[in-house]
Amino acid sequence: MWKQFANQWALVTGASTGLGAEFARQLASHGMHLVLVARRGELMDELATELHTKHGTQCLVITADLSSPGEPQRILAEIAAQGKTIALLINNAGFGIVGEVHNADVDRILTMIRLNVSALIELTYLVLPEMLQRGRGGILNVASLSAFQPVAYMGAYSASKAFVLHFSEALHCELRDLGITVSTLCPGVTRTSFFDIAGAPGWLRKHAALDVDYVVRKGLKALSRRRQHCVPGWRNFLLTLLVRIASRRRVVKESMRFFRPQPPGKHWRRSRRRFF
């Protein structure tokens, strides 16, 4: 599959750090050129220099906040103005929020929904017409292990990722016979800044986590094999099966024990459960 993408362009959102930057590195190693999109332009400029030096990769850096209305259209218009065609879309941008409902920041939650859901949908539908016209293309949407269950104290986040999973699985079936592959990556706990941004600093240091290079490699492998979705890590995969067997009430109650916010000055407890 990667031979057909060599010397073609991939659009990666959330490309400044974490999974997004690793997607860029691994796609560059497969011979792809990259449109890098995120809020932090200086980090993407450094990444673009690294990829050009190591792989000869061409990079178009677009600084954008995808939670702002109109940004997906602006990004695609800039790409078109540069005469580039997107063969592969990696919808990676997103963030989460950990907190109790009586302390909810509604504006921040709505910003999260716009980024995790609305921007992903808009970019997907904006790139699809050209892919359909060519009869080939790929889309990899990043969801989460939490897409398989409701998660207390992260209710809006887990719901947004459930939306991504269901939306992507539907498109996978609709587009498979038209030459376009839509896959969903559902990582569990991964070594990124996710929990620091979500409002649980230090949480990651107390829990087992997967490396970004492993997670991205599994996601791209699933895409190359035209799989509907991918859950990296066998323990995470088993958890997706267990939550189907357990009662919905039990599943949510277990997540309460895992994600209950800690009082000020307290450290996040180590747990062997891996809800995320």
Tell me which of 125, 153, 157, 214 is the catalytic residue. Answer: 157
The residue with tokens 């109109």 is 70
How far apart are the C-alpha atoms of 22 and 16, rounded to whole Å? 9
Other residues' Cβ atoms within 10 Å of the Cβ of residue 50: 16
CA distances from 158 to 3, 94, 97, 154 (A): 35, 12, 10, 6
Q: Please indicate whether residue 214 is annotated as part of the active site.
A: no
| 13-45 burial: b if 16+ Cβ within 10 Å, else e | bbbbbbbbbbbbbbbbebebbbbbbbeeeebbe
E strand or H helix at 239: helix 234-245
Q: Which residues contact 58 (CB under 8 A, 6 or more apart)?
A: 33, 34, 52
DSSP 146-188: GGGS--TT-HHHHHHHHHHHHHHHHHHHHHGGGTEEEEEE---
Q: Alpha-carbon dihedral of residues 266, 189, 241, 234, nearest 10 degrees?
A: -130
Kindly list the catalytic residues.
Answer: 157
